[in-house]
Structure 1
Amino acid sequence: MTVQDFRSFNRFYTNVIGALDYGRHLYAPYTLTESRVLYELAHSPRTDAADLRGELSLDAGYLSRILNKFEQDGLIERTPSERDPRRRRITLTAQGRETAALLDERSRESVGALLATVPADDHPRLAEAMRTVRTLLSSGRPPRGEDVVLRDPGPGDLGWIVQRNAALYAAEYGWNADYEGLVARIVADFAEDHDPHLERVWIAELDGRPVGCVMCVRDDAPGTARLRLLLVEPDARGLRIGDRLVEAVIDFARDGGYRDLVLWTNDVLSAARRIYQRHGFVLVAEKPHRSFGADLTGQDWRLDLHPPQE
């Protein structure tokens, strides 16, 4: 391969991207770079300016101007970082989330229209070619945590949650189809009726494929949210995906005005329990039961989202 080959491909791909934004409707009233910043804010539960500079390779002054514009437009708010008081945590407002969702929907529609021109039988070949380009140009390095994106579910993702929960728990713990039925009911209830301001699903994506998920829904108890269906694919473990998913739920529940966050799990899920403990969940009850074709000990965990200040 020659430099000219690479530059020729780059020109071709640039033209493809330009065609997606024909007439500049896709990102309006924001630029492509501004839309990228919004995307990162919408898909990263804990973000400050330094995180954004590193992720997007942006000049500090340029990024500062973008964030000032977003703040003036009511899209973001800045608060002291819990990790480092010298930094400012940047989060999207409700208006910011709506704007990011609109831009993401436009992008999905444009890419979908482009993919519609490719025969369905060629989609796997195209996906493999894109993965090959990414792998080779990243020097074959293994995936890192920052390569994982947390996003809202797209078409087919809710079905993926049911399928992967059923397959993984059958393979790792021998659970039967009763568990798949439970997950299917949980997902169906969310799909049919949920308040997007108080309930949400996250998909963790790596190299264009889902590798994890979690759900936050309203509990029966007033002021209480429930964390459900935390899952990370075996080949993606070790990248702090589980921690990031739980952090996303905690931040969302706290911002949504919930007082408590609860969850139910089983004692055999030791890796998940360690994640919950790291984030301050406390075991409040446990009880033996037989479910999913196995003898288990169910556990109820709780997190106070607004503990008293010392």
Structure 2
Amino acid sequence: MADLAKIEEIRRFNRHYANILGKIDQEIYHKPYPLSEASVLAELYGKTGITATEIREKLGIDRGYMSRIIQKFEDDKLIAKKQAPSDKRQHLLHLTNYGEKVHLALVDEANKEVAKMVGSLTSHQLDQLTRAMHTVEKLLTHEEPQAPSVLIRPFQPGELGYVSYLHGRFYNKTYGFSELFEYYVMKGLSEFLMDQQGGELWIAEVDGEIAGSIAIARVDGHTAQLRWFVLDDRFQGQGIGKSLMDTALAFCQAQNYRHIFLWTVHILEAARHLYSKYGFECTEQKPNAEWTSQELIEERWDSELDLH
């Protein structure tokens, strides 16, 4: 049996969501067609013929209630029946032209009311809400998980602050870095924002959510520095770090940089392994006693770029 605390949390969510559904039924789907009846119209819309049994089983509607809904729809001229060719005892239902107009009017009204319900949410919060809904739906219907949609793109206004947040949160949570490290990141990002010539910063998006970043900053006409390479720990192990590195190095090739370097710390074993795979070598070390309670070893890694 699943953990009792988790089961009770699911029941708590069910009670909360039942209240939301009650509000939807009362405030969004008005008379004469409440939520259950509007759901039947939705199942009929766009279909050339479907049986009442199929709709009832899909929506979990009681047989007697389903019969009353069908009779009401017939009386209101919303649906028409025709005998099923494969079974003379069954009738196929479809919406009349008037029934389609009624359904579309209900959809339009419902969209307006739902928009009011979520009107106080930001775009990011709305994305979070819909992703959570998709997750619940997939898990409870046992759908096979789909591969995440990964996008590597240049940063947009407002996102450098989030890059700083990712650094501060990840390094504090994982390695105990202090706020001083986040100041160091923010200071560098601010300088980059004021002078982006010969450089670029990319954002990794996973299903619309920011997962990480990487940047190239110009040092001089032949040399670039790789900076602000970070990946949210929830998205590690999916090859996103490699995609970010490929994007950054391809940019260096296009800019005709001959040399690239980066700074890291000795405790970042996974990152150091990745740098080594891309031909970087550790060329310099120096102590750092500012970011954590224990002394770190900062490392400079360099690589010569093949321009051929």
Distance 1:163 1:122, change over 3 A: closer
**1:147 match:** 149
Higher RCO (CA < 8 A, seq sep 6+)? 1
Higher-Rg structure is 2
Which of these residues, 152, 161, 166, is aligned with residue 164 of structure 1?
166
**1:180 match:** 182
Question: Once the 2 structures are TM-superposed, how far is the Cα of residue 192 of structure 1 from its aligned partner?
Answer: 1.7
**1:211 match:** 211
Distance 1:174 1:253, change over 3 A: same
Q: Which amino acid aligns with 1:157?
A: E
* SS of equivalent to 2:298: strand
Q: Which amino acid aligns with 1:161?
A: V
Identical positions, percent: 27
On the 8 A contact 2:166/2:212 being kept in 1, the answer is no
Question: C-alpha deviations, 1:95-116, integer Å up to 9, x for none?
Answer: xxxxxxxxxxxxxxxxxxxx9x
Question: Once the 2 structures are TM-superposed, how far is the Cα of residue 270 of structure 1 from its aligned partner?
Answer: 0.8
Q: Which amino acid aligns with 1:248?
A: T
Question: C-alpha deviations, 1:155-176, integer Å up to 9, x for none?
Answer: 3210001111111111111111
1:287 matched to 2:289: no
Distance 1:182 1:175 in 2: 11
* SS of equivalent to 2:250: helix
Distance 1:137 1:253 in 2: 41
Which of these residues, 187, 190, 193, is aligned with residue 191 of structure 1?
193
Distance 2:120 2:205 in 1: 22
5 Å-filtered alignment, 1:86-97, equals: none
Distance 1:214 1:194 in 2: 14
Distance 2:255 2:43 in 1: 48
Question: Once the 2 structures are TM-superposed, how far is the Cα of residue 306 of structure 1 from its aligned partner?
Answer: 1.5
Distance 1:295 1:127 in 2: 41
* SS of equivalent to 1:121: coil
Q: Which amino acid aligns with 2:235?
A: A
Distance 1:143 1:305 in 2: 37
Distance 1:147 1:130 in 2: 15
Distance 1:121 1:222, change over 3 A: closer
Q: Which amino acid aligns with 1:304?
A: E
Distance 2:224 2:40 in 1: 55
Question: Once the 2 structures are TM-superposed, how far is the Cα of residue 288 of structure 1 from its aligned partner?
Answer: 2.6
5 Å-filtered alignment, 1:1-310, equals: 5=42, 119-121=119-121, 123=123, 126-132=126-132, 135=135, 136=137, 140-142=143-145, 144=147, 147-195=149-197, 198-219=198-219, 221-293=220-292, 294-306=294-306
Distance 2:243 2:303 in 1: 16
Distance 1:6 1:259 in 2: 62
What is the root-mean-square deviation of aligned Cα atoms in Å?
3.2
Comparing 122-131 with 156-165, greater Cα deviation is found at 122-131
Q: Which amino acid aligns with 2:301?
A: W
Question: Once the 2 structures are TM-superposed, how far is the Cα of residue 190 of structure 1 from its aligned partner?
Answer: 1.4
Distance 1:3 1:141, change over 3 A: farther
Question: Once the 2 structures are TM-superposed, how far is the Cα of residue 125 of structure 1 from its aligned partner?
Answer: 6.5
Distance 2:287 2:184 in 1: 18
Distance 1:212 1:229 in 2: 9
Distance 1:226 1:125, change over 3 A: closer
Q: Which runs of 5+ in 1 are unaligned?
A: 10-114
* SS of equivalent to 1:291: coil
Distance 1:182 1:223, change over 3 A: same
Distance 1:126 1:257, change over 3 A: same
Count of residues in Structure 1 that have an aligned counterpart in Structure 2: 199
Distance 1:208 1:296, change over 3 A: same
